[in-house]
Chain A
């Protein structure tokens, strides 16, 4: 890299306790580019950008902007240098309005300095949202009333109002719909044209290839290299990230299908979805694709009894079910892995043992007394089978990495020995290697005769794993494709409601 780079980070080191999060990292990026950071979970991407944004202090090394060393000892200093970050965790104040959040600390005033000029404030906030191509939102609404994806857009708007020279986006797409993602990409082009540097972290490689001018790969806290997307492909990038080729991301299965196990007829929930009918066979993986807000999550929650349906029926093994709670569904052998493990999948303050056995306490107890030995044996078996690290079942779950946490949730539902598994985004926020492991687990479960409904917003995952693909749009089933006919184009077209 030349000496004329806009941003240079030299010899950056950072350790947490005994682990090196970053080791002698030399990173540079120029103004007017979108620079993606790629790597597995724990590779050091987030740490690197957090050092740049002042959220985390480096142990050694220096940071140069325009060739001169700068001090980013705190987020405030970073802000003054024009560095803004949008992290995975939101920093919005939920009970304030969109306007207040976007203009926090710079609300326009009238007369005395403390008298807020609400008209001007709202107008300014609307202007900002429009600038980033995000219209149709009432800025007087409270943030707590917004969907997660809208919150994400507000978060980005808040960062952009300050006209940052460096904008850091950490996994912005995880909660955005395809359409919002396109708007975000358009915004990034605009920022780029204005001479800003965008640092972009994402797990989704197709997205990285689409948006980035250069990609820097980190692995185990070290910088592996920087490439241009046109000079490489996803396979080679994965090899850089993981250190070896992934011969096969999606495992092959013989795809033998048994008799129908789950049948959904005319299921509806007012306001969310209606007229949902499909059948799931033993040993089948039925993919369910849809944009955010298409109702796919609600359908799964209704089948599981976590929400109540207003019409229709669910049949299991030919018998109509009356599931009014998750308890009923579990008793019948239906399990649901929810999309957000931290919100409703894990008890972070409890151990692996407690989490994995949480949904099967009845099976490992007699007269309400836990059989600790049996509990330990069955949990240990699952921990070994799923290769959860470290394999210490009394370790608290919040001490585990994201990928291992996801495996703990999966283990919890496997322990229930369900006949039907509803998997809602089973690989969200986990690294490539763990994804592959999860895929293998899922296909082995199918081979064992379990019926699997795989809900995902990652199209390659749907296409790679499913025997059949259901597409949902606006609360309806918009298409159903056998594996052979499901292509990226056909599925996306059905999901977006356009003719291919």
Chain B
């Protein structure tokens, strides 16, 4: 449109200045990627350790196990990521997993399996939408709102069924448990396909970009003519659907659904997002690729420690240390 009539000195920078700029941008790129490199390196290191010390690690069966185990956290983390990117948090996902698991196990006795699954996903969406509605409409803190819905949903699970339910339809476990690609089951493929879809959603759609921007400055987004409330509802709704889908697949894998299932799952999902670079409460940061890395690292550690027969209590300690390290490293990055 216009260019200043003043010939600004910066329009012809000296060679030194240009070089300075070059180095600066180079260093910036390096420092930006620093944490990621550490994680890639530790990731590869983990695999090398596993491969060299355990003869079982690279067997088809173990790889299949590893992926089956991360399906649940993999799906929940994706939904959690969408919420965290808006500057929020969703504590209710563990409870939604339980609700979905127990409902899909119970419903299939009375109706065709696809209908049962569909209803459960809609219930998950509904739970998420309520979270989003309360948070955006009344400007409540996401932490508190989802803490409250955890209680409500958990209560509802026990109202529906106090004891464990075994899915009655034998197809349920088969459909999702069959190995379709090497050692990978269809559940694993569903999870793996969800990642590129979410990447496209967050990076290549108007809603995705709006969700990203809301986390940085929701008022600026509102003034840009974007429906902020609607997008916050959408984010929690997505999280609810992901959790419900995770619950369905978990119920299929376990072959029995306890009303207490899913406890603490929200923390694993938050951990995966944080390891992947997301910042809680601040928006910005956070990526689908990083989250996948976080899910894999958490899954690998569980898998390895299991192979070495380490007690699960130690696993928890190590997981805690990794999360702390991730947060500390990102702090230096900022």
Q: Taking beta carbons and an 8 Å cutoff, which residues of A are in contact with B?
A: 17-19, 242-244, 246-248, 304, 306, 325-327, 329-331, 336, 338, 343-350, 354-355, 357-359, 361-362, 365, 368-370, 372, 382, 385-387, 389-390, 412, 414, 433, 436-437, 440-441, 444-445
Chain A residues within an 8 Å CB radius of B219: 343-344
Chain A residues within an 8 Å CB radius of B217: 344, 346-348
Instruction: Give 1 or 0 for each of B248-291: 1 = CB within 8 Å of chain A CB.
Output: 00000000000000000000000000000000001111000000
Picked from B206, B216, B225, B284, the residue with its CB within 8 Å of the CB of A370 is B206
Chain B residues within an 8 Å CB radius of A440: 2, 4-5
- Contact between B210 and A348, CB atoms less than 8 A apart: no
B197 interfacial by beta-carbon distance below 8 Å:
no
Picked from A358, A365, A387, the residue with its CB within 8 Å of the CB of B205 is A365
Chain B residues within an 8 Å CB radius of A243: 9
Chain A residues within an 8 Å CB radius of B224: 326, 330, 358-359, 412
- Contact between A359 and B225, CB atoms less than 8 A apart: yes
Chain A residues within an 8 Å CB radius of B213: 347, 350, 354-355, 358
What are 18 inter-chain pairs, A to B, with CB distance below 8 A? A17-B27, A19-B24, A242-B6, A246-B6, A247-B5, A306-B222, A325-B225, A326-B223, A326-B225, A330-B225, A349-B284, A349-B285, A358-B221, A369-B206, A370-B209, A412-B224, A440-B5, A444-B2
B41 interfacial by beta-carbon distance below 8 Å:
no
Q: A358-B224, A433-B4 are in contact. Are A350 and B206 (CB under 8 A)?
A: no
| Closest B residue to A245 using CB positions | B6
B139 interfacial by beta-carbon distance below 8 Å:
no
- Contact between A244 and B204, CB atoms less than 8 A apart: no
B142 interfacial by beta-carbon distance below 8 Å:
no
Q: A326-B222, A329-B225, A345-B220 are in contact. Are A444 and B23 (CB under 8 A)?
A: no
Chain B binding surface SS class: helix
With both chains docked as a complex, state the minimum distance between the C-beta of B198 and any C-beta of chain A, in angstroms. Answer: 14
B332 interfacial by beta-carbon distance below 8 Å:
no
With both chains docked as a complex, state the minimum distance between the C-beta of B169 and any C-beta of chain A, in angstroms. Answer: 36
Question: How long is the Cα–Cα vector from A361 to B211 in the complex, in angstroms?
Answer: 12
With both chains docked as a complex, state the minimum distance between the C-beta of B222 and any C-beta of chain A, in angstroms. Answer: 6
- Contact between A387 and B4, CB atoms less than 8 A apart: yes
Picked from B2, B23, B225, B226, the residue with its CB within 8 Å of the CB of A18 is B23
Chain A residues within an 8 Å CB radius of B225: 325-327, 329-331, 359
Instruction: Give 1 or 0 for each of B1-40: 1 = CB within 8 Å of chain A CB.
Output: 1111110111000000000110110010000000000000
B136 interfacial by beta-carbon distance below 8 Å:
no
- Contact between A368 and B4, CB atoms less than 8 A apart: no
Picked from B6, B226, B285, the residue with its CB within 8 Å of the CB of A433 is B6
B172 interfacial by beta-carbon distance below 8 Å:
no
Chain A residues within an 8 Å CB radius of B6: 242, 244, 246, 433, 436
- Contact between A369 and B1, CB atoms less than 8 A apart: no
Chain B residues within an 8 Å CB radius of A347: 213, 216-217, 220-221
With both chains docked as a complex, state the minimum distance between the C-beta of A392 and any C-beta of chain B, in angstroms. Answer: 8
- Contact between A441 and B1, CB atoms less than 8 A apart: yes
| Closest A residue to B210 using CB positions | A361
- Contact between A361 and B4, CB atoms less than 8 A apart: no
Chain B residues within an 8 Å CB radius of A329: 225
Question: How long is the Cα–Cα vector from A329 to B223 in the complex, in angstroms?
Answer: 10
Chain B residues within an 8 Å CB radius of A412: 224
B69 interfacial by beta-carbon distance below 8 Å:
no
| Closest A residue to B223 using CB positions | A326
Chain B residues within an 8 Å CB radius of A414: 1
- Contact between B216 and A18, CB atoms less than 8 A apart: no
B62 interfacial by beta-carbon distance below 8 Å:
no
| Closest A residue to B24 using CB positions | A18
Question: How long is the Cα–Cα vector from A325 to B27 in the complex, in angstroms?
Answer: 43
Pairs A-B, 8 closest by C-beta atoms: A349-B284, A347-B216, A330-B225, A359-B224, A385-B1, A349-B216, A344-B219, A361-B206
- Contact between B1 and A350, CB atoms less than 8 A apart: no
Question: How long is the Cα–Cα vector from A98 to B168 in the complex, in angstroms?
Answer: 67
- Contact between A344 and B2, CB atoms less than 8 A apart: no
With both chains docked as a complex, state the minimum distance between the C-beta of A239 and any C-beta of chain B, in angstroms. Answer: 12
- Contact between B1 and A444, CB atoms less than 8 A apart: yes
Question: How long is the Cα–Cα vector from A189 to B215 in the complex, in angstroms?
Answer: 46
Interface residues of B in 150-196 (CB under 8 A from A): none
Q: A326-B225, A327-B226, A344-B223 are in contact. Are A368 and B8 (CB under 8 A)?
A: no
B207 interfacial by beta-carbon distance below 8 Å:
yes
B212 interfacial by beta-carbon distance below 8 Å:
yes
Question: How long is the Cα–Cα vector from A297 to B219 in the complex, in angstroms?
Answer: 16
Question: How long is the Cα–Cα vector from A500 to B212 in the complex, in angstroms?
Answer: 52
| Closest B residue to A342 using CB positions | B217
B227 interfacial by beta-carbon distance below 8 Å:
yes
Picked from B10, B24, B226, the residue with its CB within 8 Å of the CB of A358 is B226
Chain A residues within an 8 Å CB radius of B216: 347-350
Question: How long is the Cα–Cα vector from A368 to B208 in the complex, in angstroms?
Answer: 9
- Contact between B2 and A441, CB atoms less than 8 A apart: yes
With both chains docked as a complex, state the minimum distance between the C-beta of A124 and any C-beta of chain B, in angstroms. Answer: 37
With both chains docked as a complex, state the minimum distance between the C-beta of A15 and any C-beta of chain B, in angstroms. Answer: 10
Question: How long is the Cα–Cα vector from A207 to B232 in the complex, in angstroms?
Answer: 45
Chain A residues within an 8 Å CB radius of B205: 365, 368-370
- Contact between A350 and B284, CB atoms less than 8 A apart: yes
Question: How long is the Cα–Cα vector from A337 to B18 in the complex, in angstroms?
Answer: 33
- Contact between A389 and B227, CB atoms less than 8 A apart: no
- Contact between A372 and B204, CB atoms less than 8 A apart: yes
With both chains docked as a complex, state the minimum distance between the C-beta of A409 and any C-beta of chain B, in angstroms. Answer: 9
Chain A CB within 10 A, most for which of B217, B220, B222, B285: B220
Question: How long is the Cα–Cα vector from A433 to B285 in the complex, in angstroms?
Answer: 33
Chain A residues within an 8 Å CB radius of B283: 349
| Closest B residue to A20 using CB positions | B20
Chain A CB within 10 A, most for which of B10, B215, B223: B223
Known: A346-B220, A350-B213, A386-B2. 4 other contacts (CB 8 A): A18-B24, A327-B225, A344-B219, A348-B217
Picked from B2, B207, B226, the residue with its CB within 8 Å of the CB of A437 is B2
Picked from B8, B24, B206, the residue with its CB within 8 Å of the CB of A362 is B206
Chain B residues within an 8 Å CB radius of A346: 217, 220
With both chains docked as a complex, state the minimum distance between the C-beta of A153 and any C-beta of chain B, in angstroms. Answer: 25
- Contact between A365 and B206, CB atoms less than 8 A apart: yes
Question: How long is the Cα–Cα vector from A354 to B214 in the complex, in angstroms?
Answer: 12
Question: How long is the Cα–Cα vector from A304 to B285 in the complex, in angstroms?
Answer: 31
